[in-house]
Amino acid sequence: MTVPLFRFVIANTEASIVMPENNGYTQKEMINKVMVDIDKLFDKLDQIQKDLATRPTRQEIYGWIIAGISIATLITVLM
């Protein structure tokens, strides 16, 4: 009964995640660094989304141009 348990322990230790090179960070520190970078990416995406929401669309710009031309034409006709 102890032999299968011993094999399980060996297999379990071999399945642990090992960093390929010693870069001075633990796995927890690396995960925290990645999470900070992901948060920065989401903040940047939120900023881009806000910028796109506040910019006028092409249809709005054409509408203002046509309204300006219409007012200029009306003033020209009335004078």
pLDDT along the chain (79 residues), means of 10: 45 52 80 93 93 86 95 92
Domain range for 65: 25-79
- d(CA 63, CA 42) in angstroms, rounded, equals 34
Look at residue 73 in the predicted model and tell me its pLDDT.
95
Look at residue 46 in the predicted model and tell me its pLDDT.
93
Q: Let me know if residue 53 belongs to a domain.
A: yes
In sequence order, the 6+-apart residues with CB closer than 8 A to the CB of 16 are: none
Look at residue 10 in the predicted model and tell me its pLDDT.
47
Q: Let me know if residue 1 belongs to a domain.
A: no
Q: Structure tokens of 62?
A: 């054409």
Q: Let me know if residue 10 belongs to a domain.
A: no
Contact 27, 17 (CB under 8 A): yes
Domain tally, the chain: 1
Look at residue 9 in the predicted model and tell me its pLDDT.
46
Look at residue 6 in the predicted model and tell me its pLDDT.
44
Within its chain, how far is the Cα of 18 from the centroid? 28
Look at residue 32 in the predicted model and tell me its pLDDT.
92
